Amino acid sequence: MAGFCDHAVAMSMSLRCMVFSCVCFLSISAELQRFEHPIKPDGSLSFLVIGDWGRRGYFNQSKVADQMGRIGEKLGIDFVVSTGDNFYEDGLTSINDPVFEKSFTKIYSAKSLHKQWYSVLGNHDYRGDVEAQLNPILAKVDSRWLCQRSFVVNSEIVEIFFVDTTPFVDKYFLWPKYHTYDWRGVLPRKEYLTKLSKDLDSALRDSTANWKIVVGHHTVRSIGHHGDTMELVLQLLPILEEHNVDMYINGHDHCLEHITSTSSNIQFLTSGGGSKAWKGNIGKFLDPVKFYYDGQGFMSVELKQDEAKIVFYDIFGKVLHNFDLSKEPYSNM
């Protein structure tokens, strides 16, 4: 299977390599890069989460952005998390692509949203020039932008682990249909995934933060259009469970969703309602599905050392679902 996979990838990459005139096999980083983000003076932290959004303001993207600005001001948010599929339909074409400003800068213009944005890549982003979204030059166009494949944000009471989930999914390599994916920096795939899994496992094991949150584009658990991502259930979920992760936050399914785990304390949270939604595309409701909304919206997370509050909003700013979590402060004694 590995040989077949590498052959299929090589075939699908031939055009991409000619277009970019680059070496396709790049070295893989030794560990996850870390970014420090201070908490508020009172020891709290708050942020918004949005996914699957970049459509030049269409499909209610602008309405969602307006309510994000309002809620962001009310909460005094510290930053924004993007769960991927940042630019439709096929990512960015280059660092000079006007879509960046049309779908990001000009849409999320509220003062409260002029905070750091931490973003991961989605499968649609991999259909464009991946290196463009990862290029720090974009921060000169809009200083809020920070996008990497996988990294860690440390905010003292919480560590947020951003994971590049697209390379886990077999179909993008074996059955890409008419799409062309930019796999620079990912091949050889097996080595990339092995290293990423080891780095995530190590970072989670070493974490002393009271809250541990993992962010990726693809679902682990979902009753939406895409459903569970079995590659993540098999390869990523065991790592999350072993290290007592509190939340796994994703996009990919164009909905808002809250599912609890039957085998751990993980809360599976989908925030993929940033623009185009899939009305009526809902699977069978079974316990432990706590909430599902097949429309546009976003979510907020408020954290203290021993408390967390999660809220889901629609395009009118109406609260659709909320819940609280609590836990004892971390101790390494």
How do the domains of the chain map onto residue ranges? 41-326
Q: Is 96 annotated as a binding residue?
A: no
Residue 2 confidence (pLDDT) above 60: no
Residue 25 confidence (pLDDT) above 70: no
Q: Is 218 annotated as a binding residue?
A: no
Q: Is 254 annotated as a binding residue?
A: yes
Residue with tokens 């006007």: 98
Residue with tokens 């299977």: 1
CATH 3.60.21.10 fits 41-326, yes or no: yes
Name the phi and psi angles at 59, rounded to 5.
55, 40
pLDDT at 284: 77
pLDDT at 332: 58
List pLDDT tens digits, range 236-262.
Answer: 999 999 999 999 999 999 999 999 999
Chain-centre distance for alpha carbon 111: 23
Q: Give the CA distances from residue 23 to residues 6, 10, 173, in Å, rounded to whole numbers and listed in that order.
A: 16, 13, 19
Q: Is 321 a catalytic residue?
A: no
CB 103 within 8 A of CB 56: yes
- The SS3 call for residue 313 is strand
Confidence of residue 331 (pLDDT cuts 50, 70, 90): low
- The SS3 call for residue 247 is strand
Percent of the chain past pLDDT 90, that is, above it, reads 86
Q: Is 178 annotated as a binding residue?
A: no
Q: Is 182 annotated as a binding residue?
A: no
Which tokens sit at 283?
């699977």
- The SS3 call for residue 239 is helix
Q: Is 52 annotated as a binding residue?
A: yes
The one catalytic residue among 226, 243, 258, 321: 226
Q: What is the pTM of this model?
A: 0.90
